[in-house]
Amino acid sequence: MIGESMLNSRPNGMPAYKKIQGAIIKRIESGQLKPGDTVDSERELAKIHKVSLMTARHALTALEREGLVQRRRGAGTFVAPPKIHFNKLTSFTEQMAGRSLTACSKVLSFGIVDNEQEVAARLALATDTRLLKVERLRIAADEPFAVETCYLPAEEYSGLTRAAVARGSLFSIIEGTYGIQLAYADEEMDATAAAPATANLLQVPRDEPLLRIRQLIYSTKGKAALYVLGLYRSDRHTLLVRRFR
């Protein structure tokens, strides 16, 4: 079989290891597999899906890094406790959908700026580059819980309207309409006190501690695609991350 075209065994665009992941995720989400249950071993998965060991292994390794399963040498692979998908870059809309919360956003401002030098620098652009600046209030379960300010290079997203942003997820617009695949985000987190205007928007007292997150989101081409500054109500939002040794 050596030398056989990959197209034969993979007519669509989905890699085999992702199919395997999908099958496992489905069994976890449907409740068929509960936390602590053993997942099919590498060898079993290889047989079931008719792939080599390395491919089955790749599927499990990636699932472990996403926190969905836990692997123990000599013992097996087990379903992890149902934590949030840490280390996974997801849009507000996607996150809320995952927790089955009613969520919406209100566009506070929408326009072009060309004098935000720090932001331009972070995006690795000339300091006078025209940037599209969008401020949005994020609301979940009828409570405001974050103010997010996004900056995008105006040239690359020409035609983007306030209405489009108000209607749907910014991520899906970028990935769908503009065909830019987002890859990862470097995030900087610290705490800050709510300024009067922000406090008012979030309906919290002045100087309330807020979680501040600055995201620099990159495309698969390694280019900075957008910059997001978020201020989160700490009583409604805690961030989860997994770090490896």
Partner DNA sequence: AAGTGGTCTAGACCACGGC
Partner DNA sequence: CCGTGGTCTAGACCACTTC
Place of tokens 């995030």: 187
Nearer to a copy of itself, 130 or 207 (CB): 207
Q: Does 12 bind DNA (CB under 7 A)?
A: no
Select the binding partner of residue 87 from DNA, a copy of itself, none (C-beta < 5 to 8 A, by kind). Answer: a copy of itself
Nearer to DNA, 43 or 167 (CB): 43
Q: Which residues of 73-109 are buried (b: 16+ CB within 10 A; e: fewer)?
A: eeeebbbbeeeeeeeeeebbbebbeeeeeebebeeee
Strands 38-39 and 69-72: unpaired
Nearer to a copy of itself, 27 or 65 (CB): 65
Nearer to a copy of itself, 161 or 235 (CB): 235
Strands 76-79 and 103-113: unpaired
User: At its nearest, how many Å lie between DNA and the CB of residue 8?
Assistant: 8
Structure tokens at 157: 């997203």
Q: Which residues lie near a copy of itself (CB under 8 A)?
A: 54, 65, 67, 70, 72, 78, 83, 86-90, 181-193, 207-212, 221-222, 234, 237-245
Select the binding partner of residue 6 from a copy of itself, DNA, none (C-beta < 5 to 8 A, by kind). Answer: DNA
Site for DNA in 199-218 (CB under 7 A): none
Nearest Cα to Cα of residue 188 among 219, 207, 163, 215: 215
